């Protein structure tokens, strides 16, 4: 009963914050995170630590739906005509960000004053998380500005593909990290095992997506029942991936990709989820995630927060530029694509939360979660403005559309 009471408090206060945030020019994601921080056990304690400790089911439900919705943004039809640019830029910026963040933290090892094992672990895991981009923020800005053109379509395709690549890089980083902690050396068998996990996670998600597409024939006259069945499959895929030690986020994301590209009715199902469930999912996820934030730990790592933000930005900008050069993209894409990829939120927090489930990483897991939640405030406050700046500089927004956008209430979520 106490659990239900606390959820009720989150719903009421969350709806109030969600209503007022856009009016103050604050992204809803930031409003939810601030609310969770204030009412959580770290500050006012309105929501007790015991609730946060037993909130894994809510987090898992939220992450499973978020992962599918993120995957569903990758439609292969959006790659038509510029698939070369999308693939090259996505790979270069993701791998470039990973390398720059990892090497950057290792170079600052003496300043950060961590043990060798801890700094290597932190470097790998933060580098894997740094590659992720929030797809909802660029999409919201594109809709707000009514932007259309090569730059815009390339941006939306990149942010959709980017999170798939980031999950793979993070999984490899996690495997290397746990291997180093366990035996002190990196063994090739661990890399092979990680590759198998990635393969079977993708295979599992693909099969689930195809099964969901087949269910269209069963629920021909009822989109509501089809939506319920889809949610059931999402929960099954996520939980079974966990049970069989696969990557649940990757399985769910793959399921979303397959459904978006094979189902004739998935747009209707997605509309049902967006209309009745998505806002609740995002609200619960971000509010509860912020309750994991430990203020005393946060105040002790400002340098890590600053380093992560700066190194990630450098990686995104330089990697995107190199990818654009190799793929012979336009000057606008070369100059501004990396800036547009600055936002980061839900997937990054989800990856940071997943680290908490590995007992061998307990010495570094809380620190990483605190850093990612703290930097989410930065990424989601500055990200919309940076994406908007990049789209304006690309020349794909008319003056009238820019004026109209200023009158609209912003609405960001991830």
Whole-angstrom CA distances from 52 to 38, 41, 284 are 14, 8, 12
Per-residue pLDDT band for 29 (boundaries 50, 70, 90) equals: confident
Indicate whether 301 belongs to any domain: yes
C-alpha distances out from residue 298 to 34, 265, 266, 301, 372, Å: 14, 45, 41, 6, 10
Q: What is the pLDDT of residue 410?
A: 44
Q: Tell me, yes or no, whether 117 lies in a domain.
A: yes
Contacts of 191 (CB under 8 A, 6+ apart): 172, 175, 176
- Residue 396 phi, psi dihedral angles, 5° rounding: -105, 15
Distance in angstroms (rounded) separating the CA atoms of residues 145 and 154: 16
The CA distance from 101 to 105, in Å, is: 6
Find where tokens 């897991």 sit.
Answer: 365
Please report whether residue 353 resides in a domain: yes
42, part of any domain: no
Torsion, CA 6, CA 7, CA 12, CA 13, rounded to 10: 70
Distance CA 73, CA 340 (A): 17
> What share of the chain has pLDDT > 70, as a percent?
92
Confidence of residue 398 (pLDDT cuts 50, 70, 90): low
Lowest mean pLDDT among 144-148, 185-189, 318-322, 389-393: 185-189
Highest mean pLDDT among 67-71, 338-342, 404-408: 338-342
**Residue 217, in any domain of the structure:** yes
CATH number for position 265: 1.20.1530.20
Residue 26 falls within a domain, yes or no?
no
SS (H, E, C) 39-103: HCCCCCCCCCHHHHHCCHHHHHHHHHHHHHHHHCCCCHHHHCCCHHHHHHHHHHHHHHHHHHHHH
Q: Which structural domain, as residue segments, surrounds residue 234?
A: 53-407
Q: Say whether pLDDT at 400 is over 60.
A: no
> Strand ranges (DSSP E) for 257-363?
none
Is residue 231 in some structural domain?
Answer: yes
Reported as a single tens digit per residue, the pLDDT across 222-246 is 777 888 888 999 999 999 999 998 8
Q: Per the domain annotation, does 122 fall within a domain?
A: yes
Long-range contacts, 48-51 (Cβ 8 Å, 24+) = 48/6, 51/2, 51/3, 51/6
- Domain total of the chain: 1
């Amino acid at each position: 009963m106490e659990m239900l009471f606390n959820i009720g408090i989150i719903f009421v206060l969350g709806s109030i914050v969600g209503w007022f945030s856009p009016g103050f020019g604050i992204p809803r994601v930031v409003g939810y995170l601030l609310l969770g921080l204030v009412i959580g056990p770290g500050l006012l304690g309105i929501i007790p630590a015991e609730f946060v400790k037993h909130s894994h089911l809510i987090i898992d439900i939220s992450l499973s739906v978020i992962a599918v919705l993120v995957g569903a943004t990758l439609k292969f039809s959006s790659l038509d005509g510029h698939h070369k640019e999308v693939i090259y830029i996505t790979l270069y910026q993701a791998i470039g960000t990973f390398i720059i963040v990892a090497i950057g933290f290792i170079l600052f090892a003496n300043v950060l004053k961590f043990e060798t094992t801890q700094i290597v672990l932190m470097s790998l895991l933060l580098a894997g998380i740094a590659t992720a981009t929030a797809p909802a923020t660029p999409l919201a800005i594109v809709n707000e500005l009514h932007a259309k053109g090569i730059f815009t379509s390339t941006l939306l395709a990149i942010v959709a593909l980017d999170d798939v690549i980031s999950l793979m890089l993070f999984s490899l980083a996690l495997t290397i990290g746990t291997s180093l902690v366990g035996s002190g050396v990196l063994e090739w068998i661990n890399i092979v095992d990680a590759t198998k996990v990635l393969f079977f996670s993708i295979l599992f998600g693909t099969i689930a997506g195809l099964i969901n597409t087949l269910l269209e024939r069963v629920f021909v006259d009822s989109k509501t029942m089809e939506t319920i069945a889809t949610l059931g499959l999402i929960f099954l895929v996520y939980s079974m991936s966990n049970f069989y030690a696969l990557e649940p986020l990757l399985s769910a994301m793959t399921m979303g990709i397959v459904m978006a590209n094979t189902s004739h009715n998935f747009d209707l199902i997605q509309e049902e989820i967006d209309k009745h469930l998505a806002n609740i999912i995002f609200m619960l996820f971000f509010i509860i995630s912020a309750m994991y934030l430990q203020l005393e730990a946060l105040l002790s790592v400002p340098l890590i927060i600053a380093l992560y933000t700066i190194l990630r930005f450098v990686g995104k900008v330089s990697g995107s530029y190199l990818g654009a050069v190799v793929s012979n993209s336009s000057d606008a894409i070369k100059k501004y694509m990396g800036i547009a990829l600055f936002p980061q939120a839900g997937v990054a927090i989800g990856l940071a939360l997943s680290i908490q489930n590995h007992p061998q990483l307990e010495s570094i897991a809380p620190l990483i979660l605190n850093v990612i939640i703290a930097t989410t405030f930065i990424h989601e406050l500055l990200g919309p403005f940076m994406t908007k700046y990049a789209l304006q500089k690309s020349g794909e927004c008319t003056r009238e559309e820019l004026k109209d956008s200023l009158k609209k209430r912003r609405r960001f979520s991830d």
